[in-house]
Amino acid sequence: MTTRGLATDLGYSHATGNPLHRAVRWGAGTRAGGWVFSHVLRHLDDAVGRLSRGRHSAPGLLAGLAVLAGLAVLDVTTTGRRSGRRRTSHLIATPYDGTLALLGTNFGQAPTPAWALNLEADPRATLTYRGTSREVVARAATPAEAEEVFALAGRFYPGYARYRERVGERRRIRVFVLEPV
């Protein structure tokens, strides 16, 4: 790996997207959209991945990934805290201080996402983006870093602020900073 940083090394960045993509991002940030995405997206994503032979993901197609250059979706593979099996989640990362950060918002739903709990139990993970993989170690962001990550994430996806507002005091949203191994 080069010294350019994880985000640069993977070529990971977000683009504005077209009006349709921005509308989907807005809709996903609503209470109803968050519920639908949290319950349907994983199954839809599995189907899109199979049909495209791994070249596309449902969040990417809906929010502007791939050729349309919108939200960049990467695969984060963690080790299941209970099963010990490798689990892959399709997530949107936030470029942060030369590396990447992850927000465990779960579309503003009450439960903490399993991938976040897995990272707490075993911080080692594999990131894959556009066919390039990197081994990383996740660490919990400091409170100041978490605020900065939320501010940066809100610039490309305003739904994060709404998710944070909805979750409120019900649970702590985990924020992880990923560091290359």
Average pLDDT over residues 145-163: 90
Average pLDDT over residues 147-168: 89
Is the model's pLDDT at 128 over the cut of 60? yes
Distance of CA 178 to the CA centre of its chain: 12
pLDDT bucket at 38, cuts 50 / 70 / 90:
low
21-35, 70-84, 157-171, range with the lowest pLDDT: 21-35
**Bigger pLDDT: 63 vs 140:** 140
Is the model's pLDDT at 1 over the cut of 50? no
3-state secondary structure of 89: strand
**Bigger pLDDT: 129 vs 126:** 126
Is the model's pLDDT at 70 over the cut of 60? no
* Of 28, 108, 112, residue with least CA distance to 63: 28
Q: For the chain, list the domains and their CATH numbers.
A: 6-180 (2.30.110.10)
Across the chain, mean pLDDT equals 82
Is the model's pLDDT at 159 over the cut of 50? yes
- Please give the structure tokens belonging to residue 155: 């610039």
Q: Tell me 172's DSSP state.
A: P
* Of 133, 10, 15, residue with least CA distance to 67: 15
pLDDT bucket at 150, cuts 50 / 70 / 90:
very high
- List, for residues 90-102, the tens digit of each pLDDT value: 888 999 999 999 9
3-state secondary structure of 66: helix
